[in-house]
Structure formats: C-alpha cells, structure tokens
C-alpha cells in the first residue's frame, strides 16, 4: 500500500532553534518527493522538490534530504522564526504517466518566542 | 504571474443542498486537481483533470463531481451535502511532467450546517 508517514505529529520549539521533521514513505513507483508548508486556513506552498537522484535541496533556511534507499526524507529548519509556525506536509508523487500524489498527515510546528 | 485562484473563499450551506466551487489555474497549466482537507483525515485526493478529461479519481462518493473547461478552469460540485462534507477544498494546478511543482490555491472553506 502506498503510504507516507510523518513524524513527529506536532512539535514546539523556541524561536531561533533548529528542528528536523521526518518523512518515511512506501510508495512505488517513485517519481519525486516534495515538502510543503501550509499556514492555517491557506493552501500549501512548495518548499522543495527532489527526484530519485537528488539527496539534498535547500530553500533559504529550509534544507530537505532524501535517502532513496531507506525511503526516508527529512526537512531541517535552521534558526526558526515565529513565521515558521505552520503544518509541514511531505508529498510523494507516483510515476507512470499520471501525477498521483500521496500525502503525509503533516507535522504541526509551533515556534514560541 | 497570477497564482491559482479559488472562489468563493468561504461558503456556508445547509444539509441537502448542492454547491459548486471554482478554480482558475496558473496560465498555461493544463492539469487541475482537487483535494479535501479535514483535521481528522488530512489532505485527500478527489480527482484530477487534464485537457477537459478526468484522468484520475480518488475514493469519494458520486456526490462529488467535477469538470474542466477548454480554458483549463475547473469546477467541483458536491450534491446532497452532508455535515461531514465540511472541509477546506483545495485545488492545485500543474504544468506538464511530474517534475513540475503543484501550485495550490488558498482553498474554499465549506461549512455545512
């Protein structure tokens, strides 16, 4: 069964600290993996996208890694800011012609002053 | 360039009524997909349209339907509304190829009372 699991479910950190969110997937055939940030009541916004051959991708203070062998990805947030408070969703795309997305349940991050 | 536009932003309907939601994709994007997001279930795929044809469908009852017009704009219809249909409905558009990012709209918040 195609599945994407994220951990932790929720996380509270202090402003300025770093954190790492995890994503494990059992999706086949794999095309790419994306991380999205979703503010409450808004649509998800893409942070990074990685294909099978890429193992790291950065977007400002966000760095995503991908280990295709262990089917794990992580999103590292450096020097967190209050505006980082949001849900972070890991999404894996199935290959094979149609763009079918498998969503993780998300990690809800709260950054406190 | 303009992003994905969803209208209306908020909607309140009564059980048994029907509702139509609209999505205008990014110019040039021919793929539009729809998702339902609830606190308990996360993001769930409804269906995807490409060049006016539905090419992917999720596991939702027949009360949920959609269509895409020649200008790639898409509508989603839900008939005989139930309380459980209350959710944030998101649409996303994509260019050709699975390596393209999906750009989400801000969503339509539907409340069924």
| DSSP letters spanning chain B | ----EEE-SEEEE-TT--EEEEEEPPTT--EEEEEEEETTTEEEEEEEEETTEEEEE-S--TTEEEEE-TTS-EEEEE-S--GGG-EEEEEEEE-SSTTSPPEE---EEEEE-
Q: For chain A, give the longest Cα–Cα distance.
A: 46
Task: Name the residue facing A32 among B4, B99, B103 (closest C-beta).
Answer: B99
Enumerate the residues of chain B whose CB falls inside 8 A of the CB of residue A51: 99
pLDDT score for B55 = 86
Query: For residues B81, B102, A107 and B38, what is the CA-based torsion angle, rounded to 10 degrees?
Result: 0
Query: For residues A76, A81, A82 and A83, what is the CA-based torsion angle, rounded to 10 degrees?
Result: -70
**What is the rounded distance in angstroms from the CA atom of residue A84 to the CA atom of residue A5?**
21
- Determine what percent of chain B is predicted with pLDDT higher than 70: 95
**What is the rounded distance in angstroms from the CA atom of residue B49 to the CA atom of residue B68?**
6
Least reliable range by pLDDT among A29-33, A93-97, B5-9, B35-39: A93-97
Report yes or no: A47 and A74 within 8 Å, Cβ to Cβ: no
Query: For residues A76, A78, A81 and A86, what is the CA-based torsion angle, rounded to 10 degrees?
Result: 0
| Interchain contact, A46 vs B101, CB within 8 Å | yes
| Interchain contact, B31 vs A104, CB within 8 Å | no
What mean pLDDT comes out for the span B36-64?
Answer: 90
pLDDT score for A100 = 76
What mean pLDDT comes out for the span B25-43?
Answer: 89
The model's confidence at residue B2, banded by pLDDT at 50, 70 and 90, is confident
Instruction: For B70-110, write each residue's pLDDT tens digit.
Output: 999 999 999 999 999 999 999 999 876 545 578 899 999 99
Report yes or no: B78 and B66 within 8 Å, Cβ to Cβ: no
Interface test with A, best of B42, B91, B92 (most A CBs within 10 A): B42
Does the CB of B33 have a partner CB in chain A at under 8 Å? Answer: yes
pLDDT score for A102 = 87
pLDDT score for A98 = 60
Quote the minimal CA–CA distance from A113 to chain B in Å: 26
Does the CB of B86 have a partner CB in chain A at under 8 Å? Answer: no
Does the CB of A44 have a partner CB in chain B at under 8 Å? Answer: yes
pLDDT score for A97 = 58
| Interchain contact, B43 vs A103, CB within 8 Å | yes
Contacts of A59 (CB under 8 A, 6+ apart): A47, A48
The model's confidence at residue B1, banded by pLDDT at 50, 70 and 90, is low
**CA-closest candidate to residue B68, choices B86, B44, B94, B87:** B94
The model's confidence at residue A94, banded by pLDDT at 50, 70 and 90, is confident
């Amino acid at each position: 069964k195609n599945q994407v699991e994220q951990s932790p479910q929720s996380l509270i950190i202090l402003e300025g600290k770093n954190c790492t969110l995890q994503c494990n997937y059992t999706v086949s055939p794999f095309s790419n993996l994306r991380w999205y940030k979703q503010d409450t009541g808004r649509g998800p916004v893409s942070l990074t996208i990685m294909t099978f051959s890429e193992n790291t991708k950065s977007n400002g203070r966000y760095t995503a890694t991908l280990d295709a062998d262990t089917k794990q990805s992580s999103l590292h947030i450096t020097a967190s800011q209050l505006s980082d408070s949001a849900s972070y969703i890991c999404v894996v795309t199935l290959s094979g012609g149609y763009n079918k997305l498998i969503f993780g349940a998300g990690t809800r991050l709260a950054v406190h002053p | 360039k303009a992003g994905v536009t969803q209208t209306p932003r908020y909607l309140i309907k009564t059980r048994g009524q029907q509702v139509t939601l609209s999505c205008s994709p990014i110019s040039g994007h021919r793929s539009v997909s729809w998702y339902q997001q609830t606190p308990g279930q996360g993001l769930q795929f409804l269906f995807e349209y490409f060049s006016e044809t539905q090419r992917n469908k999720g596991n939702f009852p027949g009360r949920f339907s959609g269509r895409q017009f020649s200008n790639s704009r898409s509508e989603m219809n839900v008939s005989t509304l139930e309380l459980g249909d209350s959710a944030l409905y998101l649409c996303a558009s994509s260019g050709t190829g699975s390596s393209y990012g999906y750009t989400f709209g801000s969503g339509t918040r539907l409340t069924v009372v």
